């Protein structure tokens, strides 16, 4: 039986809810991801991660929240963005719907760095208001310590649409990857003042939407990345650190 609630009928949902207090809520983005990868790569990855987790531990999977805060990338065609307040309000309503039906643990499976601070803020609010337990996976940062031995790029293997972004998409949705368009792009506008936080145009840094080397991606690396990520996430879910309050 599926763990994804949008494929369930209400009776099967009710039965599944009796078996778990955990909901996985995947977040994505629709934004430039190089000339060779789909705009929805972040959500594709997090949906797959949530499904892999739910194959090993009892969990409900929320429908993907597909569009995130991607304003800095909006100079590239196809990039969509929602205001942080809109994103938080929508995610709050989704989470509180699950809480209403008994969920006590929420794992945000987030694929976009721009969403991170707003999800953290919402987590603190939900924990205080409802007494639930929340945690977030920041997908493209989450995998970095797990796959150091697989890295081959000379710079930024985990850059935007680089070696590992490409590898994961080749594993999950090879039909939407155009490897003949994959490129290697260094930062065209290095930040001389990285200790000062500022809003910067992404296009000034990369005219291709890639930071790193997208030509080095392989489906094999993507599959191993996903396997290790699922293993790590399951270990956390089963740990005392993420028990229901």
- pLDDT score at 219: 98
For 126-151, what is each residue's pLDDT tens digit?
A: 999 999 999 999 999 999 999 999 99
Tens-digit pLDDT profile for residues 196-220: 877 777 888 889 999 999 999 999 9
pLDDT band at 244 (very low <50, low <70, confident <90, very high): confident
Rounded to 5°, angle at Cα 40 from 16 and 70? 110
The per-residue b/e assignment along 77-88, b for 16 or more CB within 10 angstroms, e otherwise, is eebebbebeebb
Percentage of the chain beyond pLDDT 70 is 100
Length of the chain: 245
User: What is the rounded average pLDDT for all residues in the chain?
Assistant: 95
Give the pTM.
Answer: 0.95
Class of domain 5-242: alpha beta
Q: Quote the tokens at residue 240.
A: 């005392």
Are 83 and 176 contacting, i.e. CB atoms less than 8 angstroms apart?
no
pLDDT beyond 90 at 59: yes
What are φ and ψ of residue 105, in 5° steps?
-130, 130
Taking the domains of the chain in order of start, what are their residue ranges?
5-242
Which pLDDT does position 69 carry in this prediction?
96
Task: Name the band, by pLDDT with cuts 50, 70 and 90, for residue 121.
Answer: very high
**Model pLDDT for residues 99-110, shown as the tens digit of each residue:** 999 999 999 999
How many angstroms from the chain centroid is the CA of residue 45? Answer: 6
Nearest CA to 35 among 211, 178, 222?
178
């Amino acid at each position: 039986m599926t763990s994804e609630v949008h494929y369930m009928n209400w009776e099967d949902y009710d039965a599944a809810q009796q078996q778990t207090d955990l909901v996985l809520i995947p977040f994505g983005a629709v934004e430039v991801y190089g000339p060779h990868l789909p705009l929805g790569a972040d959500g594709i990855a997090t949906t797959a991660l949530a499904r892999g987790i739910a194959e090993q531990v009892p969990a409900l999977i929320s429908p993907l929240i597909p569009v995130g805060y991607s304003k800095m990338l909006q100079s590239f065609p196809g990039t969509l963005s929602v205001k942080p307040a809109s994103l938080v309000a929508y995610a709050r309503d989704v989470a509180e719907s699950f809480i209403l039906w008994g969920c006590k643990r929420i794992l945000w499976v987030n694929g976009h760095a721009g969403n991170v601070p707003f999800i953290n803020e919402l987590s603190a609010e939900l924990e205080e208001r409802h007494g639930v337990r929340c945690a977030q996976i920041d997908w493209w940062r989450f995998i970095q310590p797990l796959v150091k031995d697989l890295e081959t790029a000379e710079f930024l293997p985990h850059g935007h649409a680089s070696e590992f972004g490409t590898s994961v998409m080749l594993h999950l949705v090879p039909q939407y990857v155009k490897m003949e368009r994959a490129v290697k792009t260094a930062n065209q506008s290095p930040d001389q003042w990285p200790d000062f936080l500022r809003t910067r145009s992404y296009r000034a840094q990369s005219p291709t939407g890639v930071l790193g080397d997208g030509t080095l991606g392989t489906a094999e690396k993507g599959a191993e990345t996903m396997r290790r990520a699922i293993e790590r996430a399951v270990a956390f879910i089963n740990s005392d650190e993420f028990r229901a309050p």
